[in-house]
Structure 1
Amino acid sequence: MANSEFNQSFNLKYLRLHGKIIHTVISNFLSFLKITMNNLLSNNIVDYVKNYMQNEEKEIVNLACKLINAKTENPPGNEILAVRIVEDFFKSFQIPYKINEKAKDRANIVGYIGCMGERQPARTLLVACHLDVVPAGDDWKRNPFEAWVENGRIYGRGASDNKGQLASMLATAKFLKENESKLKGQFILAGVADEERGSTLGLEYLLNECGVCADFAIIPDVAHNMQMIDVSEKGTLFLEITSHGKQAHGSTPEKGINAIWSMITLLERIKQLKFKYNSHPLHTPPTLNLGSIHSGTAPNIVPAVCKAQLDIRYLPEDLADNIINNIKNIIKEVETQQKYARFDLKINSNQPPSAVSINNPLIELISKHTQTVLGILPEPKGLSGATVTKQLIQKGITAVGFGPGDEAEAHATNESISIKELVDFAEIMALIALDMLA
């Protein structure tokens, strides 16, 4: 009896152990099979997107050239010319869109792909490209508003800033529209006005008055050949200082007060301005630029007024108030030391620094798919200039800057962008959108 009970107990334990081993083996095999299938599916998707975008190359070039040929110099803007091109594209592929215009001919266009109607999208990804360009300037080898292709590059005003990127994103939008049934989230593509002059009529208007919103946003207006992700921007402080003097004849300067000499003394002191914070892991040091000085009407007149404009870029830890107070103190010191010196200080603009965590899913997806397509990992960095990502972050949207192009091309004579980069960017963005929204 004892042996029988022992044998039954042993057999039961053996069966249980054997069952656990079999269960573990089967579970491991199924996990391996799932990973293998996922990798196969992933590889198939990557190949599919790559082939799709390579076939779209001619259309990307054609769209970029059309957009460049739409003369949208700001001022005056006339973004409606570019909006009509995007509108025709959206209509061709049945992409729902809205046109929002705060001022005549200063139009914005926003297209929506994916989850629509009563059902709320799981996630929303916004990509915004600006339609306006800076004035062309001189010394172009061809008409800057008649785009041309040469040695694998598209040339013309706005090629790199920002119309090439928009053409690339239209290809991504077309791809996502054709695969819309797979999307649980929503992809929003915006062509915005007025970026070169502050975005009052553009993205700022869309965010504040038109209900445009998203969970995540990518702004392809940071030209670092997709090797950098803009995760932080310095604060931007524009100041105007006015020096007041007394007009007199140039032959008797002692009877007047020369506003320029007073300004020179002040500016020499401001040049030595000490910032509270001088280093940051993502940023270059803070900067102070004397952008303009205006004074005088003739050499034989003692000038009564002199105006100077300063551009100060400060680090995320710093505060504009600290800098402004330091400059006010310098002004007081100069006014005390120079009996007749008198100054006014005006704050023309202050955009605080902005930053997102480098540990967020958007950066992970950008890094993942850039490595897939280009074999490189883009580096999270801070930007000295300002983009509209700052406005998005202030609205609680996780926004970064990322895109093709070379910073040296923006605003330059004979501006251009690589066609291959535009195709690669369309591919990367399609993969990001599928990963995030599908």
Structure 2
Amino acid sequence: YLAPLGIPSTRHEKVKDRTNLVARIGSGSPRLIIVGHIDTVPAGDGWETDPFTAVEKDGKLYGRGTTDDKGATASMLLAARYLKEHESELGGEATIVAAADEERGSKAGMVYLVEEGIVTGDYAIIPDAASDMKKVFIAEKAALFTQITSYGKQAHGSTPEKGVNAIKNLMEVLQRIDRMTFDVTEHGLLSAPTYNLGMIQGGVAPNVVPARCTADLDMRYLPGDSAETILKKMEGICRDVEKELPDARFELKVTMADTPIELPEDHPLVKAIVEETASAVGAAPEIAGMSGSTVAKFCMTHGIPAVNFAPGEEHVAHMANEFVRIDSLVEFAYVLTRIVSRLLK
């Protein structure tokens, strides 16, 4: 698609067969990055069509990834065609990225591309939080994933007094963490911080006192709070329970952590998106925040101002019978060309 249009592109792989495609239009600065991702989550159950065959019906495309995120990536490529035709009018460089590995943490995708300096810029637009262009997401909560391991002593289930029950001890820790408070609980664009106990694994049989149990937790906290503060509270709970239950022993480790991000509402990138969208479709998108994490975070932590702005319906990503309206993809491509042209004057 790109080569016949005269758009140069390169392929990059940190992991074999996890390919990232990077295309560039124009040159110099400022530089605007537009990042879609081409991987998907598994199909799951409940589909009325083949999830990996695009099916067009009633002005919609059905299939896994149509909204998250191949539809938006197709819009980017459509916009790239127009931008190439008007390349002489650009006063900077537009970098189009079709990234891998977004659904699994982006280590082989945007993390790799940014850390290696393959992709860099002055602005970034991430069309990955579907809102039918009704929202510009300028803030994201931080994600802090932890695992707590409880160590006990194995014994026969008929003589539990001879063992130390790792599951029961861990329950005491988890109940206290459930009552734990965050230092920052309010934000103008983001919902309250959350805690989810996602997995518990322990024991070998009902008639054996469990000697080991692990729990995996997901915490999402707000700008102004910190992982260090939260971890200190969790460590304190573990140590308190160890003092109260002398045979208990706990180990806390971080399995994944990122940081909260927030871009000012009056940033030139935000203003360009809001004003050009309003001019093109007659309605300005709402300024918003999101609880999840996107590759905008990797851009921001490397000094590239980034926001999420995308076509597609909310709440259909990762679901059975995922779809996207075709007209929304065309409209997004048009709006995107206006935003790029403005930022790269």
Q: TM-score range by the shorter chain?
A: over 0.9
Residue of structure 2 equivalent to 1:200: 107
From the CA coordinates, give the structure whose radius of gyration is larger.
Answer: 1
Two-structure CA RMSD over aligned residues (Å): 1.2
Residue of structure 2 equivalent to 1:108: 20
- Once residues 162 and 336 of structure 2 are traced to their aligned partners in structure 1, the CA distance between those partners, rounded to angstroms, is 67
- Once residues 189 and 310 of structure 2 are traced to their aligned partners in structure 1, the CA distance between those partners, rounded to angstroms, is 18
Matched, 1:166 2:78: no
Residue identity in the other structure for 2:98: G
Matched, 1:305 2:212: yes
Q: CA deviation at 1:165?
A: 0.4
TM-score of the superposed pair, with normalisation by structure 2? 0.97
Q: 1:241 aligns with which of 135, 148, 151?
A: 148
Q: Secondary structure at the match of 2:143?
A: strand
Which 4+ stretches in 1 moved above 4 angstroms? none
Equivalent runs, 1:358-437 vs 2, <5 Å: 358-437=265-344
- Once residues 57 and 209 of structure 2 are traced to their aligned partners in structure 1, the CA distance between those partners, rounded to angstroms, is 54
| Structure richer in strand, relative to its length | 2
Q: Secondary structure at the match of 2:22?
A: strand
Q: Secondary structure at the match of 1:176?
A: helix
Q: Secondary structure at the match of 2:223?
A: coil
Q: Secondary structure at the match of 2:319?
A: coil
| Structure richer in helix, relative to its length | 1
- Once residues 291 and 95 of structure 2 are traced to their aligned partners in structure 1, the CA distance between those partners, rounded to angstroms, is 27
Q: Secondary structure at the match of 2:183?
A: coil
Q: Secondary structure at the match of 1:409?
A: coil
- Once residues 244 and 413 of structure 1 are traced to their aligned partners in structure 2, the CA distance between those partners, rounded to angstroms, is 40
Matched, 1:135 2:42: yes
Q: CA deviation at 1:241?
A: 0.3
Q: Secondary structure at the match of 1:166?
A: helix
After superposition, the C-alpha distances for 1:385-438 in whole angstroms (9 at most, x for unaligned) are: 001111111111111111112331111111111112111111100111122224
Residue identity in the other structure for 1:97: S
Residue of structure 1 equivalent to 2:88: 181
Residue of structure 2 equivalent to 1:98: 10
Matched, 1:321 2:228: yes
Q: CA deviation at 1:210?
A: 4.2
Q: Secondary structure at the match of 1:212?
A: coil
5+ long unaligned stretches in structure 2:
none
- Once residues 236 and 203 of structure 2 are traced to their aligned partners in structure 1, the CA distance between those partners, rounded to angstroms, is 27
Residue identity in the other structure for 2:70: K
TM-score of the superposed pair, with normalisation by structure 1? 0.77
Q: Secondary structure at the match of 1:177?
A: helix
Count of residue pairs brought into register by the alignment: 345
Residue identity in the other structure for 1:241: I
Residue identity in the other structure for 2:5: F
**In the alignment, is the contact (CA less than 8 A) between 1:236 and 1:349 conserved in 2?**
yes
Equivalent runs, 1:149-298 vs 2, <5 Å: 149-298=56-205
After superposition, the C-alpha distances for 1:22-48 in whole angstroms (9 at most, x for unaligned) are: xxxxxxxxxxxxxxxxxxxxxxxxxxx
5+ long unaligned stretches in structure 1:
1-88, 116-120
Relative contact order higher in (CA < 8 Å, ≥ 6 apart): 2
After superposition, the C-alpha distances for 1:268-306 in whole angstroms (9 at most, x for unaligned) are: 111001111110111111111111111122222221111
**In the alignment, is the contact (CA less than 8 A) between 1:100 and 1:210 conserved in 2?**
no
